[in-house]
Amino acid sequence: MLSVLSFRTFRHLFAAQLVALLGTGLATVALGLLAWQLAGADAGLVLGTALAIKMIAYVMLAPLAAALAERLPRRAFLVALDLVRAVVVLFLPFVTEIWQVYALIFLLQAASAGFTPAFQATIPDVLPDEKNYTNALSLMRLTEDLEQLLSPMLAAALLTVVSFPVLFGGTVLGFVGSALLVATVVFPARAPAPPGHFWASTTKGIRIYLATPRLRGLMVMELAVAAAGAMIYVNTVVLVQARFGLGEAQVALAFAAFGAGSILAAFLLPHVLNRMDDRPVMLAGAGGMVAVVALTPLMPGLVSLMILWALIGFGFACSQIPIGRILNRSAHAVDRPAVFAAQFALSHAAWLVTYPLAGWLGSTYGLPQAALGLAALGAVALVAVIRLWPAADPVEMPHSHPDLPPNHPHLREHAGAEHRHALMIDDLHRRWPRAAGSTLSS
């Protein structure tokens, strides 16, 4: 896994991700303390609203940002967004009203909605070999999990000597450090974006998603993952403190168990994915998450909770790490940023549904019913995935283009009207062939 760090460009991008994640982790702790300072006992409501604003910004703005990114130099675009995030966070320690928090959070997450998909879409260009790319995905997943464990510890250590607004300063340094590291990178040349209307570019990723069977299946799988994951993120504190009568330290242990399971999967998956296709690994991971959430009502105490949460963390990584590989083989390089942005927006739309659902079910009907309800939603989604994403999913598809003239460059390139090649939705392939030898309209 660590062998990919021998590539200078990826090494710098990975370091940029690392320092930005550490900064974001500090901001998460500081934002909670800021909410308590401004709202007291209503801090949970403030944070819940901020989380909803974050998801709305991701869903609404990621496709727009991807269309804009197509028209701008990648390095300048990423550096500018890092600096925007740094400036926004710089204002957070000085807010005095809750609405100011909401406004700044929207600006911060709007910049992240542009940065994150564009950043993710550059990695396949930097590491075109699939084995290296898989190792990079696992390493980046591992880093995200470690950040969830280490950032709170670092914040706790800093809070013994400084007040919480200083943590926002650490976030600013993280984003500035990320910008400096990205600025040292020379990205591989990319094909120029095809001419077209801005709106067509904005919706391109969604159109490719909806026309590609494996991506339709992936979109619904994200709902199953979000249904199970929402039980973790929304109801862990209630399970530990209300049901088991334990304290904040035990809440941290439960979240740490989830992270530990994900870390273990990140270590193992590069070897597994060298031997297995992505689809069964992802289905097993998402299915395992849903099944384990259904067992939540049977938990007698913290130890059993930690075991189950570790299993869910393992399944979460199994369902998420291969996503980059799926997107990479489903879009041309020029369309990749739009498809990554569509994935970013659609996956967060699923969380936007399941976060409030998990809270509402838990508060209205109780935690056991919430677990069973979320598991049922996840199970229905997985059945849909199996129908939408065929087990037989070849990369190359035989087809023909009866509407193209015989001397068309595409037909000359592939030696005849009937041909086969790695199929991706584009201007010449607007729909997916339903059977071998299907005809396609351009």
Which of the residue ranges 350-359, 364-373, 428-437 would you say has the lowest mean pLDDT?
428-437
* Amino acid (one-letter) located at 346: L
Task: Indicate whether 181 and 201 sit together in one domain.
Answer: no
Task: Indicate whether 209 and 181 sit together in one domain.
Answer: no
C-beta of residue 439 within 8 angstroms of C-beta of residue 400: yes
54 vs 259: CA distance, rounded Å: 22
Average pLDDT, the chain: 83
Highest mean pLDDT: which range of 119-128, 248-257, 427-436: 119-128
399 inside domain = no
Domain boundary among 187, 216, 245: 187
Domain boundary among 153, 187, 221: 187
Task: Indicate whether 173 and 307 sit together in one domain.
Answer: no
Domain boundary among 121, 156, 187: 187
**pLDDT > 90 fraction of the chain, expressed in percent and rounded:** 26
Per-residue model confidence (pLDDT) at position 191? 60
395 inside domain = no
Which of the residue ranges 124-138, 246-260, 342-356, 357-371 would you say has the lowest mean pLDDT?
246-260
Above 70 in pLDDT, residue 73? yes
Per-residue model confidence (pLDDT) at position 307? 94
Task: Indicate whether 211 and 288 sit together in one domain.
Answer: yes
Summarised one tens digit per residue, pLDDT across range 58-70 is 888 887 877 777 7
Task: Indicate whether 231 and 171 sit together in one domain.
Answer: no
396 inside domain = no
Query: How far is residue 203 CA from its own chain's centroid?
Result: 19
Task: Indicate whether 245 and 117 sit together in one domain.
Answer: no
Number of structural domains in the chain: 2
Task: Indicate whether 215 and 101 sit together in one domain.
Answer: no
Task: Indicate whether 158 and 223 sit together in one domain.
Answer: no
Task: Indicate whether 181 and 218 sit together in one domain.
Answer: no
Task: Indicate whether 158 and 208 sit together in one domain.
Answer: no
In terms of DSSP bridges, do strands 396-400 and 418-422 run parallel, antiparallel, or are they unpaired? Answer: antiparallel
290 vs 284: CA distance, rounded Å: 10
439, containing H or E segment = strand 438-439
The residue range of the domain holding 156 is 1-187
Task: Indicate whether 225 and 174 sit together in one domain.
Answer: no
439 inside domain = no
CATH number at residue 278: 1.20.1250.20
Query: Does residue 277 or residue 147 have the better pLDDT?
Result: 277
100 inside domain = yes
321 vs 312: CA distance, rounded Å: 14
Find the distance separating the first CA and the last CA of the chain, reported in whole Å. 41
Q: Is residue 43 very low, low, confident or very high in pLDDT (cuts 50, 70, 90)?
A: low
Task: Indicate whether 92 and 241 sit together in one domain.
Answer: no
Predicted TM-score (pTM) of the model is 0.79
Q: Is residue 442 very low, low, confident or very high in pLDDT (cuts 50, 70, 90)?
A: very low
Per-residue model confidence (pLDDT) at position 256? 81
**Residue 136 is encoded by which pair of tokens?**
């990079």
Mean pLDDT, range 206-214, rounded to an integer: 88
